Copies of this chain bind each other. A is one copy, B any other.
Amino acid sequence: MSSESPTYSPLYRQIKSLLVQALEAGEWRPGELIPSEMELATRFNVSQGTVRKAIDELAAENLLLRRQGKGTFVATHNDPRAFFRFLRLVPLSGIIEPARSVPLECWRAKAGPEAARALELKVGEPIVIVRRVLEFAGKAVVADEIYLPGETFAGLNLEMMKDAQDSFYTLLESRFGVRMIRAVERVRAVAADRASAEILHVAEGSPLLSVERISYTYGDKPMEWRRGLYLTQDHCYLNELG
């Protein structure tokens, strides 16, 4: 055990943070099998039950994924469940529609005060800005403006996004090694301005859902600030409480 482990924290919590540190350091990559409970118990010199309890919590938090008879894997955005986990929009009809991301623009800029605050950068530090539309059944339903820390995502460009077969987060994970762990969303109702009205094919002033998200990777580090406008004529933002 490291002597820097927090005091007063139960042993399994300490093992949990050591596992998070290993994930953060990229010791095991998204989708990879992690060592068995027995191997980890030997490595950390604790009981297998303590390792299991740490893994239980990491699985409950969706950082790890247990597969019956196969072992424990680092969770990945490729998991189909990950899609709904981060996009709460569902059709009112209940019929699942294919979603398609249409990247519009990608450019480099300097962080203004808002982006700097959201991404915990200094004003003027480099950022990458992405504009894209999400279509459901061929209809534009979401207009996103996405702000990313410029250093980490220096190589991101429009071609890369157009070529990507998978979701945006899968791209960030596979090309830049950044996995989003959790996000906080602030949802409001706003009137469509001219630009968003045009993209979403509604009249200016129509009610839209404004969804502002900050996504965090390991260690509560913000890695994305996203401002989305959702058309909720045929869709709704679904949320489970309790």
A interface with B by C-beta (< 8 Å): 60-62, 85-86, 88, 92, 180-191, 205-210, 212-213, 216, 230, 232, 235-242
Contacts and interface: CB of A to CB of B under 8 A. Distances in A.
Nearest to A191: B207
A36 B190 CA distance: 51
A53 to B, nearest CB: 9
Contact of A190 (B62, B184, B207): B207
How many monomers of this protein are in the complex?
2
A183 B85 contact: no
Contacts of A187: 187, 209, 232, 236-239
Contact of A241 (B86, B188, B235, B236): B86
Contacts of A216: 242
A212 B241 CA distance: 12
A209 B237 CA distance: 11
A242 B182 contact: yes
Which of A92, A185, A186, A188 is packed against the most chain B CB atoms within 10 Å? A188
A52 B139 CA distance: 50
Nearest to A241: B183
A74 to B, nearest CB: 15
B85 A188 contact: no
A207 B185 contact: no
Contact of A186 (B181, B182, B210, B237): B237
11 contacts: A85-B242, A86-B241, A182-B240, A183-B240, A184-B239, A188-B232, A188-B237, A189-B209, A189-B230, A207-B207, A213-B241
A180 to B, nearest CB: 7
Given A207-B207, A208-B207, A240 B184 contact: yes
